[in-house]
Amino acid sequence: MTLLVDATPLVKEPHPLPVAPRPWVLPSLFAAFNVVLLVFFSGLFFAFPCRWLAQNGEWAFPVITGSLFVLTFFSLISLNFSDPGILHQGSAEQGPLTVHVVWVNHRAFRLQWCPKCCFHRPPRTYHCPWCNICVEDFDHHCKWVNNCIGHRNFRCFMLLVLSLCLYSGAMLVTCLIFLVRTTRLPFSADKAIAIVVAVSAAGFLVPLSLLLLIQAVSVSSADRTYKGKCRHLQGYNPFDQGCASNWYLTICAPLGPKYMAEAVQLQRVVGPDWTSMPNLHPPMSPSALNPPARPGPQPQPLDPSKPGKGPPGRGEAAVLQEFHTGPVLPLLLQEPPGEVRPSSRPCAPGDARSTST
């Protein structure tokens, strides 16, 4: 019995097309729609029930609700354009094979390499897939404002949630008082608008109150809402300094340096006392490859065998400021003594900025 062999030639399957990056237009439009929604319902509220109360001599309601509206609107706009703690792109000089270990309250953390931002991420720093950036002390990505919530804008986020809760509650109470005061009056447009605004305010107040409670518990325990937090904490949170200290570090403590500045370079130490020095050696001499040390105390390399005792909490890149008074990230990415760093080009600016930890 002869075997029939299919004579159809093998065709190599085409490679799938690269996945296009997420468009930024729709998230930006959704964030703008939320601002318009706030202004729209506020306009209905101040034009109908609040106006009737003011005309009848009860000025406390428009004054209180007006102040809360200004605070809420300012917090919303500020959070939309705030810096969550974006870390500058590094370079591929060190590569992912270099191991960096830091200590936080007697617990070792191995810094994870971000292949898109080309540097070793500090503890609790994650790469946001929606924004394509690495955010220090990443909490979550808020789609309502189309921005990440991290170390530098968490206070503004808490202020926004608190002001929204207070403003929604004030609108609900004002509309209910208006409906009670106009019970004997015939049904009018003011009553219809007051019912619509009261139902909308109650619908927003319930989830916002739940969100505020969750965030308050998270701050009290120095925890994060990001789902990747449970992978490396394993029942013990080295960033927990107690309820009072956690709230102080979150709300009142200094934010530290802003790494988004153009002058920040993660691969070398840059201090305010740095001055340019002319190169007196030939370009190819060994002395030209090793520039002279800048004056002042030199930073010591991080010793993994000695645990740090810096203040944990929000902005965990600051836990190593005990070893160096300048920016912390350059020290974290410092090469071990005696190691020669190969020359390579930095990451291209067009590279995407992994949620993997």
Question: Could you tell me the two tokens for 213?
Answer: 């409670």
pLDDT at site 257: 75
pLDDT at site 92: 63
Inside any domain, residue 325: no
User: Measured in whole angstroms, how far is the alpha carbon of residue 155 from the centre of its chain?
Assistant: 11
Inside any domain, residue 352: no
Q: Specify whether 131 is catalytic.
A: no
Query: pTM to 2 decimals?
Result: 0.67
Range of the domain at 108: 25-229+238-264
Question: What's the pLDDT tens digit per position in 77-93?
Answer: 999 999 999 987 777 66
Mean pLDDT in residue range 4-19 = 45
Q: What is the average pLDDT value for the chain, to the nearest integer? A: 74
Task: State how many domains the chain has.
Answer: 1
For every residue of the chain, which 3-state class applies, written as one string?
A: CCCCCCCCCCCCCCCCCCCCCCCCHHHHHHHHHHHHHHHHHHHHHHHCHHHHHHHCCCCHHHHHHHHHHHHHHHHHHHHHCCCCCECCCCECCCCCCCCCEEECCCCEEECEEECCCCEEECCCCEEECCCCEEECCCCEEECCCCEEECCCCHHHHHHHHHHHHHHHHHHHHHHHHHHHHCCCCCCCHHHHHHHHHHHHHHHHHHHHHHHHHHHHHHHHCCCCCCHHHHHHHCCCCCCCCCHHHHHHHHHCCCCCCCCCCCCCCCCCCCCCCCCCCCCCCCCCCHHHHCCCCCCCCCCCCCCCCCCCCCCCCCCHHHHHCCCCCCCHHHHHCCCCCCCCCCCCCECCCCCCCCCCC
CA atoms within 13 A on the CB side of 270: 12
Inside any domain, residue 73: yes
- For the beta carbon of residue 135, count every other beta carbon within 10 angstroms: 29
Inside any domain, residue 351: no
Question: Is 60 exceeded by the pLDDT of residue 164?
Answer: yes
Residue type for 213, please?
L
Report the percent of the chain where pLDDT is more than 70.
62
pLDDT at site 289: 42
Q: Which of 51-65, 221-235, 260-274 has the lowest mean pLDDT?
A: 260-274
Q: Choose, from 142, 156, 165, 347, the residue flagged as catalytic.
A: 142
Residue type for 265, please?
Q
- For the beta carbon of residue 134, count every other beta carbon within 10 angstroms: 28
Position 234 confidence tier, pLDDT thresholds 50, 70, 90: low
Inside any domain, residue 294: no
Inside any domain, residue 97: yes
Question: Could you tell me the two tokens for 108?
Answer: 């070792």
Beta-strand pair 108-110/101-103: antiparallel
Inside any domain, residue 311: no
260 contacts 83 by C-beta, under 8 angstroms? yes
pLDDT at site 301: 45
Pick 21 or 332 by higher pLDDT: 21
Inside any domain, residue 43: yes
Question: Is 70 exceeded by the pLDDT of residue 99?
Answer: yes
